[in-house]
Structure 1
């Protein structure tokens, strides 16, 4: 017979799948934001600009980054970690965060990569990653909460 009270159970085991997914996505964004500031992981580190398409820095040698881009990843990561505390927050983070990434994908396709409108900056690799992130995040938010009430705290 167990003497453990419900209060003494590990809170991590009480997380739903949507909360776990939002937490993982948030942690990944946080790590990406940090790695964007690490020379070696980010090539051409000395060419990093605050913002704009002139930034020559590439995360993993592929994804164009700037200080602003990295800060956005850090903030998006912190938001995911905080919002993963509730089912409705986790669901909202995944769905609306995914929508934001789909809008960024469309924006990246429509703007010229050498134009002033490319202020974050984005390159083709970023654009297609935004599509994948958007679809996956929206899918996780919807699929992991189907047939569930999402107004639980």
Structure 2
């Protein structure tokens, strides 16, 4: 097998690269959420309660559960980036999940037990932007591939 053939067989498509990048960012954010200093008020972090006052970068409210979800989502993105179809599913499906989380964050009382993740206003709007961006990446980066396959 030539070096050129080996390189071509492991080259990632743009949608796979996007899923890998998004997954890696989620892994990084999940790890950073457990680092005092990067996460302010770290000593107030709870497992899954609205009164966890820990904030990633002093802005985004986090808890142990919130950080674990970021880590698991990151692992899923990295794993699903291995194939075009699963990379697209990760981006579009993950985007839909984040838009649902945005709506949930808008509808619940942030000071109630329903805010178990927990979420604050900064989280809500980040989830909105993430949801739209992930769906756009999944759809736009596979448009040419899907159109070309139909011909």
Structure 2: runs of 5 or more not aligned: none
Q: Which runs of 4+ in 1 moved over 3 A?
A: none
Residue 4 of structure 1 and its aligned partner are, at CA, apart by 3.2
Q: Which residue is equivalent to 1:37?
A: 34
- The RMSD of aligned alpha carbons is 1.6
* Per-residue deviation, residues 10-49 of structure 1 (Å, max 9, x unmatched): 655x100000000000000000000000000000000000
Structure 1: runs of 5 or more not aligned: none
The size of the alignment, in residue pairs, is 147
> What pairs with 1:7-86 in structure 2 (closer than 5 Å)?
7=6, 9=7, 12=10, 14-86=11-83
* Per-residue deviation, residues 75-96 of structure 1 (Å, max 9, x unmatched): 0000000000000000000000
* Per-residue deviation, residues 88-127 of structure 1 (Å, max 9, x unmatched): 0000000000000000000000000001100000000000
Compared with structure 1, are the counterparts of its residues 149 and 120 closer, same or farther at alpha carbon in structure 2 (3 Å cutoff)?
A: same
CA distance in 2, matches of 1:124, 1:69: 15
SS in 2 for 1:34: helix
Q: Which residue is equivalent to 1:125?
A: 122
Which protein has the bigger helix share?
A: 2
Q: Which residue is equivalent to 1:92?
A: 89
